[in-house]
Structure 1
Amino acid sequence: MRTDKRKIVLVGTGMVGMSYAYSLLNQGVCDELVLIDINRKRAEGEAMDLNHGLAFSASHMKIYTGEYKDCSDADIVVICAGVAQKSGETRLDLLKRNAAVFQSIVRPVTESGFNGVFLVATNPVDIMTRITYSLSGFNPKRVIGSGTTLDTARLRYLLGDSLRVDPRNVHAYVMGEHGDSEFVPWSQAMIATKPILSLCEEEGVVCRGELERIEDEVRGAAYRIIEAKQATYYGIGMALTRITRAILGDENSVFTVSAMLKGEYGQSDVYAGVPCIINKNGIQRIISLSLTDDEMKQFQHSCDTFGKVLKAFYKEGRKRIGNKS
């Protein structure tokens, strides 16, 4: 990992990518930001627009449109490129189209000599991160998905609001798939060092029904946002920025990113959202929480849910791009 300057290459200048870029600029996270998009003209326009705001920022970032060769000395390559799910389209169909997009991205990035960390945001993010790992041949610790980082932030916000506690003092996680099968391991949820489940025994504080309501709201948040404004992008842009800061700052901070499991939680050769320590090398290690038997079953179900989609993708006879362990 280079330490003389902080360089990020962003692939995909759609709403998610540019929300991320805008957040990077406002927080002064990096020194150099390169924008790559199949629509180069759009990327050029986005670079111009960001540069015009530099005078109002504390940042001294160098922002420009580039090519895959510019990845050679980057610290992080962030992939936000992909196609949106069409009405009536299955997850398998979406996977096929996004897998083709990733083949056109990951190989030229690695061929440039890139030796940093991949950070993936494209959905279905757990599967697309697995595909990025397979295409790149990188150590899985250096291939990370945004996972359930944003879902975890939503959970802490809602819990903090319900319990009238600063969300920064809420320690709870959303695990598994970034999608419908994600779940909250309530046995591990705390306010400071007090288990939230113990609060259920204190009359007038919180009840299990309220926790279930919050979990359902977290799981359905994206659907409600999409219904209201057709897409989600600010939250994930800020989540990606926070993960980026942890990598560039060598923080050893904990986030529920999508990580390759090798026996943790009884799963192997699969990417899923789990608490991980993040530093300059990507995933320093996965934190294995002491889940209850029921929570382990929920995690198994979540992994099986997107695992079936990935297996179906391979079964259709497409080129295998994911059998490394």
Structure 2
Amino acid sequence: MACAVSILLRELADELALVDVMEDKLKGEMMDLQHGSLFLKTPKIVADKVDVLTYVTWKLSGLPKHRVIGSGTNLDSARFRFLMAEKLGIHPSSFNGWILGEHGDTSVPVWSGANVAGVNLQTLNPDIGTDSDSENWMETHKMVVDSAYEVIKLKGYTNWAIGLSVADLTESLMRNMNRIHPVSTMVQGMYGISDEVYLSVPCVLNNGGVASVVNVTLTEEEVAQLQNSAETLWDIQKDLQDL
């Protein structure tokens, strides 16, 4: 619902459709938003039932792969930029860094590309993100992975950050902005990944979906971590091959 409210407040669509398996709650949320429609600029708010993963959606929809994306590590990267920038004493928008791969425990921080105003942090600290890093930057990535669990432990769920993240992605799509986001897309054939898996890599998003994928230069270790991320997902997805 935070996704829905964030999209509504950004005035991105003429019609908003809510989808969930909990039919009563879904209808209640739809009605609640409809009652506030006088204060919104989205004239039509509707709801219906489904519960699927990005991969399953792609398989069942028959849509081309560039038209089906997941929010992926867009939020992970936002958390990473926030935490890194906080440690550096700058605004998150002034720190450039990516979390790629799986949205979860096997996500990959791209230390080789982390920079401030073009100044590469790995050049300043060759051990950044490793066990031998005296500045312990690896702890920042651990905080990214653990942060969702921490919020869930404290308030029971996460909602506002992912809502704002999804609205940000929606804006790039609806307004044809050609902005780059780390979102979940079909990565078969990239970085030595042979399986049909969806993982997050930097993608140019516009009103056609994924316009192109940015071929990020990764270290051998980062490629290995990305492949490990793919294997983790494939272990889950391989049982869905009959779709």
| Aligned 8 A contact 2:169 2:181 in 1 | yes
Equivalent residue for 2:159, pick from 220, 223, 233: 233
- Residue 16 of structure 2 corresponds to 33
Task: Show structure 1 runs of 5+ residues with no match.
Answer: 1-17, 69-80, 82-100, 103-127, 202-206
1:270 aligns with 2:165: no
Determine helix, strand or coil for the equivalent of 1:284: strand
Any unmatched runs of 5+ in structure 2? 127-132
* 2-structure distance, mates of 1:208, 1:21: 43
Of 217, 224, 236 in structure 1, the residue corresponding to residue 150 of structure 2 is 224
The answer to whether the aligner puts 1:292 opposite 2:219 as a matched pair is yes
CA contact 1:190–1:196 (8 Å) conserved in 2: yes
Count of residue pairs brought into register by the alignment: 236
**Partner amino acid for 1:257?**
V
**Aligned-pair distance for 1:167?**
0.7
* More divergent stretch after superposition (145-154 vs 47-56): 47-56
Quote how far apart the aligned CAs of 1:251 are: 0.7
8 A contact 2:114–2:120 mirrored in 1? yes
Deviation per CA, 1:5-55: give whole Å up to 9, x if none: xxxxxxxxxxxxx11111112221212213344444433322232234444
In the alignment, what sits opposite 1:132? 57
Find the counterpart in structure 1 of residue 26 from structure 2: 43
Name 2:208's counterpart in structure 1: 281
- Relative to structure 1, the CA distance from residue 183 to residue 38 in structure 2 (aligned partners, 3 Å threshold; closer, same or farther) is closer
Secondary structure of the corresponding residue to residue 107 of structure 2 = coil
Q: Deviations over 1:59-116 (max 9, x none)?
A: 4112433458xxxxxxxxxxxx6xxxxxxxxxxxxxxxxxxx43xxxxxxxxxxxxxx
Matches of 1:25 and 1:153, distance apart in 2:
21
* TM-score (normalizing by structure 1): 0.68
The answer to whether 1:320 aligns with 2:242 is yes
| Offset, 1:199 | 3.7
Give the match's secondary structure for 2:28: helix
AA of the residue aligned to 1:156: R
| TM-score in terms of structure 2 length | 0.89
Preserved contact between residue 7 and residue 167 of structure 2 (Cα < 8 Å): yes
Q: Which amino acid in the other structure matches residue 287 of structure 1?
A: V
> Is residue 33 of structure 2 the alignment partner of residue 23 of structure 1?
no
Q: 1:155 pairs with 65, 77, 80, which one?
A: 80
Residue 60 of structure 1: aligned partner: 41
Identity over aligned residues, as a percent?
33
The residue identity in structure 2 corresponding to 1:215 is: H
CA RMSD, 1 decimal: 2.0
Q: CA deviation at 1:300?
A: 1.1
Shift of 1:148: 0.6
1:85 equivalent in structure 2: none
Whose RCO is larger (CA < 8 A, sep 6+)?
A: 2
**Equivalent position of 1:146 in the other structure:** 71
Spell out the pairing of 1:39-188 with structure 2 (5 A cutoff).
39-56=22-39, 59-67=40-48, 101-102=51-52, 128-188=53-113
